[in-house]
């Protein structure tokens, strides 16, 4: 069963605990949530509870990495009164993270939660050895909160489970005040996936 993972207190944070915190803390009736491609999608689909039409924007099996930020910018444009959150991995952020600046500049405040596990979780150890060895696919690093600050957004770093809910609450308040937020969550390289995708 998944309850031990959804309630795990391990550090780095378990991916499923992050999703559980999002599911628990948000006012789901007044939020719009999406996931990026790859592991965030596979992990979120079975465990995020949508409560109203368009409160969860899911899409097919997969799409290109980095799709979530522009998707949430569009959602915010369409529904400026809703809290808009995107869950993505650090690999996807490396491909479209600069769109945080677009959100801040355009006055379309969204929140992006990064699963900062320093690698591409959909490609487990043993797969793509050339990409791992020559191009560092499993050595992604960065201070994503500081990167966000450099683009005019608010950066929040989460390293402990008890920091996650306050970070989400702060993000909701900051978005309501017109500020784009990025939450850099130091998370595990979770390999377990539900068969319900």
- pLDDT bin (cut points 50, 70, 90) of residue 66 is confident
* Domain map (residue ranges) of the chain: 3-186
List, for residues 71-118, the tens digit of each pLDDT value: 999 999 999 999 999 999 998 898 889 999 999 999 999 999 999 998
Could you give the angle at which helices 164-176 and 15-25 cross, rounded to 10 degrees? 50
Which range, of 36-45, 49-58, 127-136, averages the lowest pLDDT? 127-136
pTM for the model stands at 0.92
The whole-number pLDDT of residue 126 equals: 65
Cβ pair 73, 99 in contact under 8 A: yes
Residue range 3-186 in CATH 3.40.50.970: yes
Which range, of 5-14, 40-49, 68-77, 185-194, averages the lowest pLDDT? 185-194
Instruction: List C-alpha distances in Å: 117 to 1, 89, 137, 193.
Output: 23, 8, 11, 16
What is the overall mean pLDDT for the chain?
90
């Amino acid at each position: 069963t998944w309850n031990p993972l959804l309630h795990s207190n391990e550090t780095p944070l378990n991916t499923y605990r992050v999703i559980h915190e999002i599911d628990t803390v948000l006012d789901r009736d007044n939020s719009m949530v999406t996931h990026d491609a790859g592991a965030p999608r596979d992990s979120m689909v079975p465990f995020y509870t949508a409560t109203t039409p368009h409160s969860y924007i899911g899409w097919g099996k997969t799409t290109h990495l980095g799709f979530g930020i522009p998707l949430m910018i569009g959602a915010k444009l369409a529904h400026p009164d809703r809290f808009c959150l995107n869950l993505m991995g650090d690999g996807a952020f490396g491909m479209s993270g600069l769109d945080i600046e677009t959100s801040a500049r355009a006055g379309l405040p969204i929140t992006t939660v990064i699963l900062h596990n320093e690698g591409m979780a959909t490609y487990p150890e043993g797969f793509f050895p050339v990409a791992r060895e020559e191009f560092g696919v499993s050595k992604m690093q960065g201070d994503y909160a500081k990167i966000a600050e450099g683009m005019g957004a608010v950066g929040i770093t989460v390293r402990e489970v008890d920091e996650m809910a306050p970070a989400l609450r702060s993000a909701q308040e900051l978005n309501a005040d017109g500020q784009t937020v990025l939450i850099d969550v130091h998370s595990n390289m979770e390999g377990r996936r539900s068969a319900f995708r």
